[in-house]
Structure formats: structure tokens, C-alpha cells
Amino acid sequence: MTIGNRWMCLIDAAELAALAAMPDAAFVLRSRRGYLPDSAVNRAFANTLRERPEEAGMFGPPIVLSSRSPHWEPDRAGGSGLLGLAGVECLDGFQRLVTMAHLIRELSPAHLSRAVLWVVVVTGEDIDRARELCDESAHHINPLEPQDNLARCPHLLRVQEEFRREGGFFDPRRGIVSGPHPVGFTPADVFRSLAALSPAPRPYLTNHLQTEDGLKELWSDIDSPVYRSLVHEGVREISIQRAVEARRSTQAKIAELFKRNSKGHWKLLQYAPELVTWTACRKLPLETLHDGSAPGWMDLIRRQLPAETERVAHLLVSAYVRLRPSDSKFKFAAPTLDLWSELLDDVQP
């Protein structure tokens, strides 16, 4: 049945499962999230398919897909016919599609075919509005979290594709993204690394992103000036590679130093490692972070940054001893921006 730019049809679960059977289904179908294996809603839907497949079609709203050019092929023998789709994306119902794809390994196609679900296919100018409406409804099933906004950031999606072309992996989605792929970078690592190598004269953003709450606040508005100060049209795959490698290099050296001395004011390295990272990274050519042709970046990170990290760590700890000699509540004082400002004012000319 067609209504304007929408097709409404009944499709059995065995056929729908094929849409999400590929390892990178979240990427191909442009889902806002990867599959959520710990979702109680997903587990309940799986149990319905196992035990009462005929009722699966009543589980939740219709699955909503978009397609550039759907094509209906009537069955001349009197059957239901065939709906062909090109350029399919999933606007709503990705969790159910993956659940069906998982269960087809456990249940027979004949069993899954007893589950028939309503599917709406949207085309043309209705697609963007349909996506907005589906995003709004998602608040009531597997509620959205700030990280889910990252899948709508055009700059991150471009970077994600650059990683794929280069044989790397970065996916900003929340949830498990299945299939073979190399170990990649988490969104938390990426944003903290970009903040550490930001040319900003003070480490406000680095301090703010120390915590999960800070990350969530940033991700809540991907159009904010603060967000765009880190992620913008200039960011590239090489930008993120450099930033993450630099932060990892400093954090490894900080962990090594803390093993040698973990008492007293040296606890600054435990509770404020991002301050040491940010300060050490000031010696890198930050203005060329996003310039893929800028030479020497990896050499600087591997050969000079560890020594600079150690030098900076000693300076900051010495300043901590000098400015707050009687401080003993390191866990509470060390992460604060006020202390960071004090220490930086003392060690920087």
C-alpha cells in the first residue's frame, strides 16, 4: 500500500533479518547506534520471536526504512508480490533487525517466517522529516544518550569513512558494532585527545572532559561553539591519529613515573594526568595538527614527547609542593581547574 512517498507493507522476519546480516550493518544502514546487547527491550523481542513468533508484529511500532527507489513486483501467481529496495537506510527499528539477524542462526527460517512485521518505507522529500520523527520516538525505547548525537555529526562521519578507507577503525556510535575490524579509538579517547592538542591557551576544556559528565555535556549539543572548536571541517583521520598517539604517549610516561613515586604530591599524576598531558603537548606544532602534509609529527611524538612529559611532570609536582605544601586531599584538589591554573601560572613564563 502506498501513501504519498510512503510504502506500507508486511514482511516476515526471515526476510527482514537479511537487511542486518552484514557485519557492518550499523554503518551501511546509517543507524544512530550499534546493537545494544544489554537492552531489556531487545531481549524481550528475542524471546517473543522464540516463543510466540506470531505476536512479534505487535512488538513496538513499524520498522521504518528509507530507500532511494523502491520497486514493487506483483506476483502473477497470486502471491503477495516482491518489494525491491535500493539504497536502504534504517530510520527506526535497527535493534529489532539485528535481533532477527542473530536469531536466524538459532531458529529456522520457517519459524521466523511466522513472525510478520509492519514496515514503512519512506522515499523522496519525506525522508528527513521521517528521520526526525523516529529520533524523537526513540526517547521512549532504548532512550537516547548524548553520545548518540555523534552519529549525526557530518565531520565525524567523514572521518569515520576516512578511517575505513585507510584500513583503520573509528565509530562514534554507542553500542557494539559487530564484524571483523581492527582495534579502534573510543569517542572518549578521541575527544580528550583533541582537547589535549587544542591550541587554546588554557586547559579549560581538557579539565572539563576529564569526567563522563563533561563528555556528555559536550556531546549534548554538537552545534555549540565549544564542540565545534574540537570537531570541524578541518579535522581529518590523520588529526585524530596524531592526537590520540600523542595523548597515549604522555599517559604511558605518566603511568611509568607514578610507579616510581606515588606518594604525597606525586599523586597529582594519578588524579590529574590530563594536566600533564595538556602541558607537555604545548611543545608540539599544534597549528599543523590537521595538516596531513606537515612533516615530523610521529617522530616528535615518539622521540621527544616522552622526555618532555617527564620534564613537565617534575615541574608541576614541584610547583604543587611549593604552592600547597600542606595539601593532603589530593583526590579532591588535583582535578580542579583552580589548582591547574595555579600550577600553570607558576611553571609557565
Q: Identify the pLDDT of residue 79.
A: 55
Q: How far is CA 63 from the centre of its chain?
A: 24
Q: What is the mean pLDDT of residues 332-344?
A: 96
CA distance 160 to 28: 12
pLDDT tens digits, one per residue of 20-63: 988 888 888 888 889 998 888 999 999 999 999 999 998 888 99
Indicate if 208 and 339 belong to the same structural domain: yes
Indicate if 199 and 277 belong to the same structural domain: yes
Residue 127 has pLDDT above 80, yes or no: no
Q: What is the mean pLDDT of residues 109-122?
A: 92
11 DSSP 8-state letter: E
Indicate if 194 and 318 belong to the same structural domain: yes
Q: What is the mean pLDDT of residues 311-340?
A: 95
Residue 221 has pLDDT above 90, yes or no: yes
Indicate if 192 and 264 belong to the same structural domain: yes
How many CB atoms neighbour CB 81 within 10 A?
A: 11
The answer to whether the beta carbons of residues 158 and 209 sit under 8 Å apart is no
Residue 47 to residues 43, 103, 176: CA-CA distances in angstroms? Answer: 6, 10, 20
In the chain, how many domains are there? 2
Which domain covers residue 130, as residue numbers? 2-144
Last residue of a domain, one of 76, 109, 144: 144
149 DSSP 8-state letter: G
In a domain, 37, yes or no: yes
Indicate if 82 and 220 belong to the same structural domain: no
Indicate if 235 and 114 belong to the same structural domain: no
Q: Identify the pLDDT of residue 134.
A: 74
CA distance 105 to 164: 28
Q: What is the mean pLDDT of residues 266-294?
A: 96
Last residue of a domain, one of 144, 159, 178: 144
Indicate if 203 and 97 belong to the same structural domain: no
Residue 69 has pLDDT above 60, yes or no: yes
In a domain, 182, yes or no: no
Indicate if 341 and 249 belong to the same structural domain: yes
In a domain, 152, yes or no: no
Global pTM reads 0.72
Cell of 195: 582537547
Q: Identify the pLDDT of residue 175.
A: 82
Cell of 217: 555535556
Averaged pLDDT of the chain: 89
CA distance 194 to 174: 19
CA distance 186 to 173: 9
Indicate if 131 and 6 belong to the same structural domain: yes
Last residue of a domain, one of 87, 109, 144: 144
CA distance 116 to 11: 5
Indicate if 201 and 110 belong to the same structural domain: no
Q: Identify the pLDDT of residue 321.
A: 96
Map residue 221 onto helix, strand or coil.
coil
* Sheet with strand 89-92: strands edge to edge: 2-3, 6-12, 116-122, 63-66, 89-92
Indicate if 112 and 196 belong to the same structural domain: no
In a domain, 268, yes or no: yes
DSSP string covering 293-306: T-TTHHHIIIIIHH
Indicate if 115 and 219 belong to the same structural domain: no
In a domain, 58, yes or no: yes
In a domain, 161, yes or no: no
